[in-house]
Amino acid sequence: MSQVLVVADLVDGAVGKPTLELLTLAGRIGDPVVVVFGEATGAVAARLGEYGATRVLTVTDPAVTDYLVAPKAEALAQIAATTTPAAVLVTSGAEGKEVAARLAVKLGSGLITDAIDVAADGSTTQSVFAGSYAVHASVTQGVPVITVKPNAVTPEPAAATPAVESFAVTISDQAKGARIVAVEPKQASGRPELSEAAVVVSGGRGTGGNFDEVEQLADSLGAAVGASRAAVDSGWYPHAYQVGQTGKTVSPQLYIAAGISGAIQHRAGMQTSKAIVAVNKDAEAPIFALADLGVVGDLHTVLPAVAAEVARRRS
Ligand code: FAD
């Protein structure tokens, strides 16, 4: 069976859900071989094995791990040269897409970005124009390099025992143009990662800039906090929390939209949520057309009441 390269995206040294999703897609095409930039602990290898990784290749050379994207693309090209993979799968994100693009150029391959599904023959589905169209595409030249949006598929366990091997690479001076000089851990919010959370509470312009009630409801539910672009552009919440076409794509079990009108660009990032609850004081707000449960009311009243009720039932 042919091998499929999966580029691991480790979060604080642990395997994130998007990598497990890539493994599930890779397993449809061939034997998933995971590339880890940095050390792969026993726990990391075991986790990757639970979702079908047959090999784990670690690249620990500081010429890769101490630099930004260019050395990673060079390293992947060298790995691809020895493994002749049927495809290379990378998580869509700023870094992932840049690495993938550079890799595709080096391999003389076609590149598909932001896929939401990958079939056994390597063909992909993309959702474009804010979810209005599904595009089916295949790479016609070289090794398909595909970036996949987080939350595109549900990870499926497929037990395997991967061999962990160190892969030696040679990195050119040209690729070492931008070195990482400091890494500061983000202040932990104690909340789950937005792209992976089972419950997301998002606030929009209707918050008026006060996210306290959104955060309190999120904390009562063990949820992540999200925001609309209007809230982010107003400087009320950091950009990393923006949900939508130009932000994160989320697909939680429950998505609560508070003070968000439901513009098509926002919906593009959350419309695959399993259950959607909208709180909006305008009964005509477009978000209600999408909502499984709509509450017409002032979020400053509704959110604290829900948080209090959740706390009461949990006590
Ligand atoms: P508004 O549309 O202003 O809606 C605010 C809502 O809050 C209204 O429905 C109002 O009735 C309600 N409200 C007001 N006060 C209260 C209250 N006290 N209680 C309850 N409800 C209240 N947007 C995104 O979100 N994500 C994206 O990734 C994104 N990408 C974009 C990309 C492009 C190329 C473009 C052109 C736009 C993009 N947008 C994106 C912007 C998008 O078009 C909307 O402008 C934005 O989503 C609106 O945010 P909002 O719903 O918070 O604000």
CATH of the domain at 215: 3.40.50.1220
**Cα 257 to averaged position of ligand 1 atoms, centre (Å):** 10
User: Does one domain contain both 209 and 270?
Assistant: yes
Angle at 263 (CA atoms; ends 260, 264), nearest 5 degrees: 140
**For the chain, which ranges sit under pLDDT 50?**
none
Residue 314: the pLDDT is: 87
287 Cα nearest atom in ligand 1 = 9
Alpha carbon 145 to its chain centroid, in Å, reads 17
Residue 11: the pLDDT is: 81
Residue 15: the pLDDT is: 95
Which of 113, 141, 176 is where one domain is finished? 176
**Cβ atoms of 92 and 114 closer than 8 Å:** yes
> Which residue from 114, 201, 205 has its CB within 8 A of the most atoms of ligand 1, so it is best to mutate?
205
Give the total number of structural domains in the chain: 2
Report if residue 181 sits inside a domain: no
Which residue CA neighbors atom 37 of ligand 1 most closely? 265
User: Does one domain contain both 128 and 28?
Assistant: yes
Q: Which residues line ligand 1 (CB under 6 A)?
A: 204-206, 228-231, 242-247, 259-261, 263, 265-266, 269, 279-282, 285, 298-300
Which residue CA neighbors atom 36 of ligand 1 most closely? 265
CA distance 144 to 155: 21
Report if residue 276 sits inside a domain: yes
User: Does one domain contain both 36 and 170?
Assistant: yes
Residue 78: the pLDDT is: 98
**Cα 266 to averaged position of ligand 1 atoms, centre (Å):** 7
Which of 141, 176, 211 is where one domain is finished? 176
Residue 93: the pLDDT is: 86
User: Does one domain contain both 161 and 42?
Assistant: yes
User: Does one domain contain both 261 and 121?
Assistant: no
Domain, as residue range, for 268: 199-314
Report if residue 145 sits inside a domain: yes
Residue 151: the pLDDT is: 80
Which residue CA neighbors atom 1 of ligand 1 most closely? 261
Output the 3-class SS for the chain: CCEEEEECCEECCEECHHHHHHHHHHHHHCEEEEEEECCCCHHHHHHHHHCCCCEEEEECCHHHHCECHHHHHHHHHHHHHHHCCCEEEEECCHHHHHHHHHHHHHHCCCEEEEEEEECCCCCEEEEECCCCEEEEECCCCCCCEEEECCCCCCCCCCCCCCEEEECCCCCCHHHCCCECCCCCCCCCCCCCCHHHCCEEEEECHHHCCCCHHHHHHHHHHCCEEEECHHHHHCCCCCHHHEECCCCECCCCCEEEEECCCCCHHHHCCCCCCCEEEEEECCCCCCHHHHCCEEEECCHHHHHHHHHHHHHHHHC
Which of 143, 166, 174 minimizes the C-alpha distance to 37? Answer: 166
**Cα 284 to averaged position of ligand 1 atoms, centre (Å):** 14
User: Does one domain contain both 35 and 97?
Assistant: yes
Residue 229: the pLDDT is: 98
Residue 152: the pLDDT is: 82
User: Does one domain contain both 146 and 106?
Assistant: yes
User: Does one domain contain both 97 and 223?
Assistant: no
Q: What is the CATH number of the domain that holds 23?
A: 3.40.50.620
